Amino acid sequence: MDLPVLYNEAEEWNYCLMLYNAALKELNTKLEILNNEFKLAHQYNPIEHITYRIKTPKSIAKKLMRYGKEVNIENIIKYINDVAGIRIICSFVSDIYRIANLIKKMSDIKVLKIKDYIANPKPNGYTSYHMIVSVPVCLSNITVDTKVEIQIRTIAMDVWASLEHKICYKFEGEAPEHIQKELKECSELLAYLDRKMLSLSREIQNYSPHPVNSYNYDTKYKSPVIESIGTIVDESKSDNIVDVGSDNSKKKEKKEKKQAGKNRFLFGFGI
């Protein structure tokens, strides 16, 4: 994130806050749109709710000191990935990966880092899916790619994390061993509950007239819209899509992302 040289630190920090806030709002809007679109297409919303926040100065300073870095704006921008944080709460674990994949495909969002604490829970029992992304913030004469941390978790994971956070705070990170043990057990019970709820939900879907997984969004939704009100601009045939990297899934992801950016729909501008 390159910033203009400003008059003093306070002014510079206000500028940073403006960028972090803008990035959060942009991402929040994108996620709300996805959720609304999903709701319309599948009569189901994968996102229960979204919260976002700017990290408190105290928490930023504590983290920098933990990293052994001097507390200044340059270090905050460089080393603190979660100054701007957005939390997405889903009903089911499958929704977490569904949302994460949709974020990966957003053409203007760059994924910088992923930590899958669901596949690999932390030793204390913490589970969540974390992504560090960069969001372009368009200002009057510059676009600034701004870092945002996304945490995606189920309601059960959120309840656990919130209680653990309180316990950690209360005991200043040194909770008695039996409490740590019970917390870990709670995390395992909640993971079991999440799995049970997901299998129950899948069973219920089989009785539904519109099962979520079998709905083909592209063919069922896109075509009537194209026919009635606009034009899809598909430039993929005239463009060379160059893939880099050896991993096939990475290639596929990149291609899908590129494609998502190219499938532009001229909404209401005619043919």
Q: Which of 44, 126, 221, 265 is close enough to bind ligand 0O2 by CB under 6 A?
A: 126
Give least dist CB 164 to ligand 0O2, A.
Answer: 4
Nearer to ligand 0O2, 49 or 165 (CB): 165
Q: What is the per-residue binding string for ligand 0O2 in 189-218, x denoting contact by CB under 6 A?
A: ------------------------------
Tell me whether residue 87 or residue 255 sits nearer to ligand 0O2 (CB atom). Answer: 87
Q: Cα separation of 145 and 142, whole Å?
A: 10
Dist CA 194 CA 200 (whole Å): 10
Residue 39-68 contact track with ligand 0O2, rule CB under 6 A, x = bound: ----------------x---x---x-----
Half-sphere exposure in the Cβ direction for 258 (13 Å, CA): 15
Q: Which residues are catalytic?
A: 149
Instruction: With CA atoms as reference, report the closest residue to 222 among 230, 213, 211, 214.
Output: 230
Pick the binder of ligand 0O2 from 81, 201, 231, 263 (CB under 6 A): 81
**HSE on the CB side for 187, CA within 13 Å?**
22
Q: State the burial class of residue 75 (Cβ atoms within 10 Å of its Cβ: 0-12, 13-18, 19+).
A: middle
Q: What is the DSSP letter of 56?
A: P
**Which pair of tokens denotes residue 232?**
């899809």
Contacts (CB under 6 A) with ligand 0O2, residues 138-177: 161, 164-165
In the bound state, the residue with its beta carbon closest to ligand 0O2 is 126
Q: Which residues bind ligand 0O2 (CB under 6 A)?
A: 55, 59, 63, 81-82, 115, 122, 124, 126, 130, 132, 161, 164-165
